[in-house]
Amino acid sequence: MNEQTLTTAKKRQRIPSGNTMYEALRRAIIERALRPGDKLPEDVIGDRFGVSRTIVRSVLGRLHGEGLIDLKPNRGATVAQPTLEEAYDIFETRRSLERDVVRRLVEKITPAEIKKLKDHVAREETARTQDSPDSIRLAGEFHILLAEMAGNAVTARYVNELVSRCSLILALYGRPHSSDCAVNEHLEIVAALQKGDSEKAFAVMDHHLEAVTERALLTSSNHQRDIRSILDDYVK
């Protein structure tokens, strides 16, 4: 292989795939680096990730299908801005699905899975003490992990989507609060599951999701932000 061919091959290796860009943009939205209403120009995104507009449009379409961004003709893409009515509908649906997750888990959860959940909560605690944006993502991933353990792939897929949309909603309406709330509540959920106490597990999960819902307070802003610099942290 000559030097020119080798250089070309290395460049190709550095170009992220559509899936890599999807994961990066999704993470930026969930961690609230990209906030509701932020514009997502195709040229800026393509430039930052080194991909074509065709790939950018495909990824934006995927995120649109998950309810994380809005696509409007002649206006481009923006991070989605759910209404309060939509927000409460989403949380209500999520509560129903996660009750089913708890019902399934309390009957079948294993010691290895309990350990995995405790390890995850420990990572949440570490991120919280470091004031890291990872704490937001990890809090949501705790619920996704529960759904995956429950063993119903359809439920897990919907919980994954709803958790992502809830993070977006909290970025738009979330009232400032101590991030240790989620960590403590997650520990209570794990303890109830470990004891096999279905009544307690239901009660704790309901209280946890109701508490998240009640933290809603309109704090949105129309201030235009620099998407190029935000994406710098998400380009690998």
Instruction: State yes or no: pLDDT of 46 exceeds 70.
Output: yes
Exposed (0-12), middle (13-18) or buried (19+): which is 136, by Cβ within 10 Å?
A: buried
What is the maximal distance between C-alpha atoms in the chain?
Answer: 68
The three-class DSSP label of residue 159 is helix
pLDDT digits 0-9 by tens, 73-126: 888 999 999 888 888 899 899 999 999 999 999 989 999 999 999 999 999 999
Q: How far apart, in Å, do the first and last CA atoms of the chain sit? A: 26
pLDDT in the model for residue 83? 86
> What rounded mean pLDDT belongs to the chain?
83
d(CA 42, CA 77): 8
